[in-house]
Amino acid sequence: MSEGPIKVISTNRKARFNYEIEDRLEVGIVLVGSEVKVLRSGKAEIGKAFVQFKDSEAWLIEAHIPIYPQAGPANHMPERMRKLLMHSKEIEKWSRKSADRGYSIVPLRIYFKGSLIKVEIGLGRGRKNYDKRQHLKEKSDKMAMQRAISRRR
């Protein structure tokens, strides 16, 4: 296939904060031409997006890819459902996992891998508010330690 450098288009930083990501998977995505043109310019928002399974297919819901002004009437809908390309065994496995209580499947990033556009999805367990506060405290403590170490040098 097209193995090449990875150029990240969009990342979902909120997903890493709101969910504890337990598993990751790289999948393809079905796009129209105007969507590819917009992604080449590096514009996409996946902060509110999630993955849903319908009729043994995986769909990316609420991912916002803005319209391409030069496309004219052949443009795409910015928040349409987009099909994710997964093997049937992966779809079965991930749909079973997402059916468990407290689990969601969220896109973590969209990126170019060579000339192909890929989506990294993650199986995440929702964090409670106290977990989020604990996570922020650990992060700030770690940064404070790094600052103290760099000052001593």
What is the CATH number for 107? 2.40.280.10
Count the domains in the chain.
1
139 occurs within a structural domain:
no
Is the Cβ–Cβ distance between 131 and 18 less than 8 Å? no
151 lies in a domain? Answer: no
Residue 18 CA to residue 14 CA, distance in Å, equals 6
Give mean pLDDT in consecutive 10-residue pieces for the chain, a chain of 153 residues.
77 83 91 88 88 91 88 80 92 88 88 91 82 82 89 77
Asked if residue 137 belongs to a domain, the reply is no
Domain extent at residue 117? 6-127
Residue 51 maps to a domain: yes
Q: What is the pTM of this model?
A: 0.77
Say what the pLDDT of residue 1 is: 52
